[in-house]
Amino acid sequence: MRFSFSVILITLVLAMFPSQNASAFTLNVAIGLKGGLNGSVVNGVSEGDTFTSDGIELTIPQGPDIYPMFGLGGSIGGFLELRALDIVGLELGLFQSWDNGNGFEDKNNAGTGQTVGRIDQEQRTSAIHFPVSVKASIPGKLLRPTFGIGAEFVFQNSSTLAYSSDAFTIANQDDGYAFGGVNYKIQPSNYVNFLVSFALEFDIDPIRIPIELRLQINPSFKSDLEPRVNASGTRNNNLTIVYDGIYQAQFSFFTGIAYDFDIKFD
């Protein structure tokens, strides 16, 4: 992935500085702010899935585990876009996000199969996002469609995991929760998303107002339990399950404002 982006950057730089025989070249630069709503999705794991702790293969216990989650949050940040030939461009961004995931599971009686209670799960995460995307646009006098593809580097700086239930006792701890003799925790994680975007820009020179939809997919995400947890101890000796807080997919609906100007090369 890094190699492909290097090739793209080199190609854009060469395009920005044509030979002496070429006509004058104009590079458009935009600096602005974007923000809005973001959503986060992650698959759960089934009870009965296995993991390894202290060299022993264990089965996920009956109790709080990792449920399918979906939640809405917010994000805000700045960006810089370089656009050549009024069509192709490169956008760099720096965003702070607050990501949420909510899920639940109904617990059934092993003998009768009847639901005996529900356990709710909440994940709360804050993260820094560095999106890098190559963009193409269709010129227009007022309205300009743009398309982007690239990568988003995500660095979580905090993540919490909480369980609650009206039917079961879940012990609150400073750094996690305990249920059925098992400690559950979460750790911030770093990962890379594949990014695609579509936007409509209202171009009121020198101001741009983008309305943008982004889709971010984590290609390295694994649904199985083993890659998603670090475990220590045994069921009879302080078993602790530390959950990796990455999200499987995210989406964003942004708007903002940017100021643009031209740099001309003779």
Can you give the pLDDT of all 266 residues of the chain as single tens digits? 444 544 455 454 455 444 444 456 788 999 999 999 999 999 888 667 788 888 888 776 666 677 899 999 999 999 999 999 889 999 999 999 999 999 988 877 767 778 778 888 889 999 999 999 999 999 888 899 999 999 999 999 999 888 888 877 777 666 677 777 788 888 899 999 999 999 999 988 899 999 999 999 999 998 888 888 888 887 777 888 888 889 999 999 999 999 999 888 87
- pLDDT score recorded for residue 175: 66
- pLDDT score recorded for residue 62: 62
Residues 6+ apart with CB under 8 A from 222: 228
Task: Please classify residue 5 by burial: count the beta carbons closer than 10 Å to its beta carbon, then call 0-12 exposed, 13-18 middle and 19+ buried.
Answer: middle
3-state secondary structure of 15: helix
Fold held by 2-265? Porin (2.40.160)
- pLDDT score recorded for residue 3: 44
235 with 56: CB under 8 angstroms?
no
- pLDDT score recorded for residue 11: 53
- The predicted model scores a pTM of 0.82
Q: Are strands 237-244 and 182-187 parallel, antiparallel or unpaired?
A: parallel
Residues 6+ apart with CB under 8 A from 10: none
Show me where the domains of the chain are located. Answer: 2-265
- pLDDT score recorded for residue 239: 85
- pLDDT score recorded for residue 26: 85
